[in-house]
Amino acid sequence: MPHSYETDGAAIYRQSFATIRSEADLDRFDADEEQVAVRMIHAAGMVGLERHIRFSPGMVAAARRALEDGAPILCDARMVSEGITRFRLPAENEVICTLHDPSVPERAREMGNTRSAAALELWRPHLAGSVVAIGNAPTALFHLLNMLEDPECPRPAAIIGCPVGFVGAVESKDALWQVQPVPCVIVEGRLGGSAITVAAVNAIASRAE
Ligand SMILES: C/C1=C2N=C(/C=C3N=C(/C(C)=C4\N[C@@](C)([C@@H]5N=C1[C@](C)(CCC(=O)O)[C@H]5CC(=O)O)[C@@](C)(CC(=O)O)[C@@H]4CCC(=O)O)[C@@](C)(CC(=O)O)[C@@H]\3CCC(=O)O)C(C)(C)[C@@H]/2CCC(=O)O
């Protein structure tokens, strides 16, 4: 007997978002934040994630404005850059991931750091006014914060800072939240990841669900 299941993609999304809106506690988010939080919960498959999501004031508007003005999106991992739905982007924005540039392994050896952190050195020409999406590597977020301690370093318009894991994820996100060098969103704690980060970018890039 063949299995019966929903085959309409749009209906699947509608049903998912309706389920999230009925089960998640979204009251503390404004309308812009709620749209982004719903998509992050959707990507994680986890109602309850909302308790860990923190937006700095005006973050979604700042990131949206930057994208509409043509800002590039700088991603720590290809899992993030590949997940961004290009047709959602308001200005055919460039999506940049420098992690696999051939110069990065040698640069990482010289720096005594991970490839993820070393790859950010190649972001410098693109950083001003960009939207940063870090979904994997805590060392990338720490290195970005260190770069931004230099007042000469160009500043992004907004940071989606959601690295995941057990070593450095909690600490790097706490550091971003403490410093808030620019408007940002984080997922507190060990939770995070490329899918949740991509979902935030895709939600910010599109105005309404
Ligand atoms: C320590 C690292 C962690 N990686 C995690 C989780 C996942 N990583 C995947 C993949 C395919 C990649 N991870 C690298 C970025 C690689 N991961 C690391 C590093 C060793 C150090 C980063 C850091 O600690 O900040 C990092 C390599 C580096 O030198 O920077 C990756 C480049 C490794 C590689 O394939 O060469 C690669 C990213 C490729 C790309 O997309 O461009 C996973 C899919 C795991 C797997 O393959 O089994 C998974 C994805 C999670 C996600 O949602 O993004 C952690 C858990 C983040 C971990 C850091 C923290 C920790 O607690 O260990």
ipTM: 0.93
Question: Active-site residue among 42, 52, 126, 143?
Answer: 42
The rounded mean pLDDT for the chain is: 96
Helix ranges, the chain (H): 9-23, 31-44, 59-68, 78-83, 104-111, 115-118, 138-148, 169-179, 194-205
Looking at 52-56, 128-132, 195-199, 205-209, which range is the least confident one? 205-209
**Tens-digit pLDDT profile for residues 196-209:** 999 999 999 986 45
Three-state DSSP state, 53: strand
**Tens-digit pLDDT profile for residues 19-50:** 999 999 999 999 999 999 999 999 999 999 99
Percent pLDDT > 70 in the chain is 99
Best probe residue, ligand 1, of 136, 145, 146, 162 (max atoms within 8 Å of C-beta) = 136
Looking at 21-25, 110-114, 149-153, 205-209, which range is the least confident one? 205-209
Q: In DSSP terms, which residues pair with 187 in a beta bridge?
A: 53
- Cα–Cα distance, 193 to 160 (Å, whole number): 11
- Cα–Cα distance, 174 to 195 (Å, whole number): 20
Residues 90 and 68 sit within 8 Å (Cβ to Cβ) = yes
The half-sphere exposure of 172 on its side-chain side, counting CA atoms within 13 A, is 28
Q: Is 126 among the catalytic positions?
A: no
Average pLDDT over residues 125-149: 98
Q: Which atom of ligand 1 is nearest to the CA of 114?
A: 29
pTM of the entire predicted model: 0.95
